[in-house]
Every structure is written in C-alpha cells, then in structure tokens.
Amino acid sequence: MPASPPVLVVVDPQRDFFPGGKLAVPGGDRIIEPVNELVGMFASVVITQDWHPSGHVSFAASHPGCQVGDRLSLPYGEQQLWPVHCVADTPGAEIDPRIAVPPHARIIRKGTRPLIDSYSGFFENDGVTPVGLHDLLVDLSATAIVVAGLATDVCVLATVLDACRLGYDVTVVDEASAGIDVNGSLSRAWTQMTAAAARRAATVAEAALSMRRG
Ligand SMILES: [Zn+2]
C-alpha cells in the first residue's frame, strides 16, 4: 500500500499568540504568509487550538502570589505560568482570521481541562493522556507530518517531540514558525527537535522539495 501523503499540522495560529494578543510571539506575523502557502499545498490540514477554561492552571493569575514566568511543581510535573490566554469562546482563542483555514481542516483543541496544561497536540503535559492528534493521524493513515505554527519553542516543540516519539516522519518549517526565545530557548528547541530526528526545512519551498523526495 502506498504511504499516505503528509499531513500539515499548524500549531496554535490563534489571535492571542500573534502580536497584539495576550501571549504574543514576537514577530509572529511573519509566519502568516508561509503558513497560508503551506495550507494550499496539503490535502489534509490539522490545526491545534489552545482552548482553556477560565482560571486554568497554566495562568499565573490562577495562583495568588505567583507571577508570569514562575514555575510551579504540579502533580503532572513542572508548569510554567503564563498570562491569561486563549480562554475558550473568547476572541483571543479564535484562529487568527488572516490564516486561510480550509473548509476540510480538522481542529484539535488542547488544554481544555482546568487542572492540566497541554502544549502538544498528542498528549497532555503528563505525557500520557491523549489529546487527539494521534488518533486523527491514524484515521488519515498518515505516517508523515509537516509542522508549522506558534510557538516553536513551546507548543511546536512539544508536538514535534511527541510525533517523533510516536514514530512519525516529521518536517518542521522554520519560516512558517516563530518562537518566544527566552534565554536561548529557540536554539535549544531546534537542537532537541533535530536530535529527535525531525527535519528542519528553512523555507516552504524546501519543505515542498523534501515532500516530493518522500
Ligand atoms: Zn495555553
């Protein structure tokens, strides 16, 4: 049986993660055009969407006395605290309207439970509870994914590492991703992703070329 074509996974292209949003990724706007180019190239597109209940455990405001950037030790591991962002059914949680979401796109919502965060589309931050992306890719018979989105050093990183762990062939498109980059986190993320056997495509054109090579 021939391998199914790769699936495009766009991580969290939501208003709150773009400049002007509540947890803006610096320079995030530059990914809009490359992401839209990618979207036009794939028959199957999956978009992950951070979708938190108000008072979510990942919000600094949910922990009296804590600040954004603090790290808390929680039952499932260490949790970095963030500004309130991507609250379900608020404008900030919407897919940015500049992203050309195709009608066939599937959406995977994550971080939906109050007491645990999910950076990855595959597993919640306990590393074991499925979020839904793996089942969806199995349904599509996909073995290869191309990943883009926000933020390279948080949710793209977590999604890519899980995908590699699950045995997917993974390509990450640099120009269609942007990172928060605190204290070298972006270059560390790339090191981790490539060490896990993910391919780094500098541009959309390079990703297209590597897809054709199979
Ligand atoms: Zn979040």
Residue ranges with strand state E in 70-168: 71-74, 77-80, 106-110, 144-150
High-pLDDT (> 90) share of the chain, %: 95
pLDDT at 179 over 60: yes
- Spatial distance between the Cα atoms of 111 and 131, rounded to a whole number of angstroms: 9
Confirm whether 207 is domain-assigned: yes
Confirm whether 60 is domain-assigned: no
Predicted local distance difference test score (pLDDT) of residue 23: 98
Q: Which of 86, 96, 153, 155 is catalytic?
A: 155
Task: Give yes or no: 155 in active site.
Answer: yes
Cα 6 to ligand 1 centre (Å)? 26
Alpha helices (runs of H) in the chain, residue ranges in sequence order: 32-39, 133-139, 157-165, 185-195, 204-213
Predicted local distance difference test score (pLDDT) of residue 210: 80
Mean pLDDT of 16-42: 98
Cα 154 to ligand 1 centre (Å)? 10
Question: Residue 155's domain is classified under what CATH number?
Answer: 3.40.50.850
Predicted local distance difference test score (pLDDT) of residue 1: 52
Confirm whether 1 is domain-assigned: no
Confirm whether 81 is domain-assigned: no
Tens of pLDDT, residues 119-168: 999 999 999 999 999 999 999 999 999 999 999 999 999 999 999 999 99
Cα 115 to ligand 1 centre (Å)? 12
Cα 87 to ligand 1 centre (Å)? 9
Q: What is the pTM of this model?
A: 0.97
Cα 110 to ligand 1 centre (Å)? 8
Structural domain boundaries enclosing 108:
7-52+86-213
Backbone angles phi, psi at 14, to 5 degrees: -110, 155
Question: What confidence tier does 2 reach under pLDDT thresholds 50, 70, 90?
Answer: low
Mean pLDDT of 19-29: 98
Task: Give yes or no: 110 in active site.
Answer: yes
Q: Which of 16, 50, 96, 110 is catalytic?
A: 110
Q: CB neighbours (10 Å) of residue 207?
A: 28
- Spatial distance between the Cα atoms of 121 and 108, rounded to a whole number of angstroms: 7
Confirm whether 75 is domain-assigned: no
High-pLDDT (> 70) share of the chain, %: 99
Please tell me the total count of domains within the chain.
1
